[in-house]
Structure 1
Amino acid sequence: MLKEEVDSLAPGRDFSRRGFVQTTVGSGFAAAVLPVAAQTITTDTTGLEAGSVTIPVGDFKMPAYRAQPAGKKNLPVILVASEIFGVHEHIADVCRRLAKQGYLAIAPDLFVRQGNAAAYTDIPKLIAEVVSKASDAQVNGDLDATVAWAAANGGDTTRLGITGFCWGGRTTWSYIAHNPKVTAGVAWYGPVARSYFAGDKSVVDRAASIKAPVLGLYGAADTGIPVETLTQLEAALKAAGNTKSEFVVYPDTPHAFYADYRPSYRKAAADDGWARALAWFKKNGVI
């Protein structure tokens, strides 16, 4: 069970509130996170091509949410890896926020083979039945297919970034270890000293394979990600020659501080982290 996810949700959720379970990728909110907060940010699609797409992964058809500036080609690409709750409205909104900055942003449904993450109300059951069954090998293969799709649909994958949140934050580190062609990454509060799928290595254990610059954004009050594990990863990266990666740890800040639809949201840290993320991608060539 992921304590940081449970701690970041309010008790007594009212499932009659708006935004119940998504019916298509990128729509609605996951049942486990309802009710959504009044502060929830919604980004419009003016000037964008946005919506669900299908990505071939061999014979499998994987759904994804994509947003990009309308009518533009050769766009820098950012992969968006979701939290354990899948590609719901918040993740779609992150894609639209990035598209407004000039990116082709795409969030594949990396749990779709295991089930509908958005339908679960019980987090331990969601982790046991869905999240813990999505291996790094499967996820990395799905992201490889997503990169290929982006290259064929208006993206310039020589300028390739990845960002993600919680499970997706760990996925950001993991995919960069897998794919040396990633230009840069931004990992939001992703665990680095443990894995989800039995047998997968931790991020710390794969540090020598992480060559691209990664910005890690974390909260000092995150009960599931001890700050000392970040120090351990930072030392391992530097020992392997990766001196460009950086960590920002916000004092008195919990897990999921960027998730504006949840009570864990901390506007000051979220705004600062977003500004740093955009600057990081530009500084490191994803522009």
Structure 2
Amino acid sequence: MNDAQALLGGRVDASGTTRRVALKAALGVGYAAAAAPIMAQTAIKTPSTGLVAGEVTIDVKGFKMPAYRAAPAGKKDLPVVLVISEIFGVHEYIADTTHRLAQAGYLAIAPELFVRQGDPSEYGELAKLQSEIIAKVPDEQVMGDLDAAVAWAAANGGNADKLAITGFCWGGRITWLYAAHQPRLKAGVAWYGRLVGNTTPQTPRHPLALAGSLKAPVLGLYGGADTGIPLETVDKMKAELVKGPAAAKASEFVVYPDAPHAFHADYRSSYRKPAADDGWQRMLAWFKRFGVA
């Protein structure tokens, strides 16, 4: 299942202007909230007390890529975590995730990886979002953008020798890919990212094909009730990992039997607090285990 399929009844709230104004008020930036039903009664709001947080611009070979970052105020030599969004881009939930990591002592940065192709907040129809933006984003472009984000972090209070990545759904897949791409990466945590898929010019290889190339261990957090990511694909990935290098062999999976797709997304009906909380603590422990703390 992808992010679009995991929405509450497939319903889409297309009131981008309202969401954008609300997020500006909450975060002081122009990021849009997700093109999905927002569940204010469950959405977590992490205080920014003691943090420096907001929009930054990252130079990627002359292209100005926006990103949202949060970090403990006045601190340097911070461990760095790249935060990779769902297909809805860097919206309030993703920004809040960076706040949570910053409160735990990290410089967390969430790049706008779809910005060249378009603005997900402008799409009220998920099929068009998938075909007109997401399907046109090349993996190679994403890897370069993330490398640029790491360089920016290293120049702005972060320690790139203490580098981790985490991502959700679309971002979960990217987490696996980046673990096979970036030799400086120490650890990754992939939340319900697909492991197999169609090969296209934009997505030439998927995590299963890259298991033998991992340069950092990945913790995969998956839902047993996720109808779009069959557990047989998790089993196939496990089988490939044990044949790979040390980083692949050190990778692990945790499957929450009753959790659906997007169980960490606290603004959606798929949210499952016990699994989300347990996964979060496992993520922090994973980072510390591999020296990102």
Counterpart mapping for 1:144-159 below 5 A: 144-159=147-162
Is 1:180 matched up with 2:176? no
Q: Distance in 1 between matches of 2:190 and 2:2?
A: 19
Contact 2:262 2:271 in 1 (8 A): yes
| 1:219 maps to which of 203, 223, 241 | 223
For the 8 Å contact 2:16–2:33, the answer to whether it is kept is: no
1:233 aligns with 2:237: yes
Residue in 1 aligned with 2:104? 101
The Cα shift of 1:227 comes to: 0.6
Figure out how many residues of one structure are paired with residues of the other and give that number.
285
CA contact (8 A) 2:89 2:113 kept: yes
1:82-116 CA distances to partner (integer Å, 9 max, x unpaired)? Answer: 00000000000000000000000000000000000
Tell me which of 46, 51, 63 is aligned to 1:48: 51
- Superposed CA RMSD in Å reads 2.0
Please list, as runs of the form range in 1=range in 2, the aligned pairs for 1:195-210 lying within 5 A after superposition. 198=201, 199-210=203-214
Compared CA separation, residues 84 and 15, structure 1 to 2 (3 A): closer
- AA in 1 matched with 2:5: V
Q: 1:202 Cα shift?
A: 1.1
3-state SS of the aligned residue for 2:291?
A: coil
- CA contact 2:12–2:124 (8 Å) conserved in 1: no
Any idea what SS the aligned residue of 1:170 has?
Answer: helix
**2: CA distance, partners of 1:50 / 1:216:** 28
Structure 1 residues 234 and 11: CA distance shift in structure 2, 3 A: closer
1:9 matched residue in structure 2: 8
Deviation by residue 1:161-188 (Cα, 9 ceiling, x = unmatched): 0000000000000011111110000000
Q: State the Cα deviation string for residues 33-80 of structure 1 (Å, max 9, x = none).
A: 123341100111100000000000011000000000000000000000
Kindly tell me: are residues 10 and 54 of structure 1, through their superposed partners in 2, closer, same or farther at Cα, counting changes over 3 Å?
A: same
Amino acid at match of 1:8: L
Distance 1:3 1:151 in 2: 32
CA shift digits 1:117-173 (9 cap, x unpaired)? 122111111010111111110000000000000000000000000000000000000
Unaligned runs of 5+ in 1: none
Residue pair 1:3, 1:223 contacting (<8 A) in 2 also: no
Q: Which amino acid aligns with 1:224?
A: G
Cα distance in 2 for partners of 1:197, 1:38 equals 40
Matched with 1:278 is 284
Alpha-carbon deviation of 1:211?
A: 2.7
Residue 190 of structure 1 is aligned with which of 187, 193, 203? 193
CA distance in 1, matches of 2:212, 2:239: 11
Q: Would the alpha carbon gap of residues 39 and 262 (structure 1) be closer, same or farther in structure 2, given more than 3 Å must change? A: same
Contact 2:168 2:262 in 1 (8 A): yes
* 1:160 matches 2:163: yes
Counterparts of 2:198 and 2:185, CA distance in 1? 21
TM-score between both structures, scaled by the size of structure 2: 0.92
Question: How many percent identity over aligned positions?
Answer: 58
Equivalent residues in 2 for 1:78-117, closer than 5 Å? 78-117=81-120
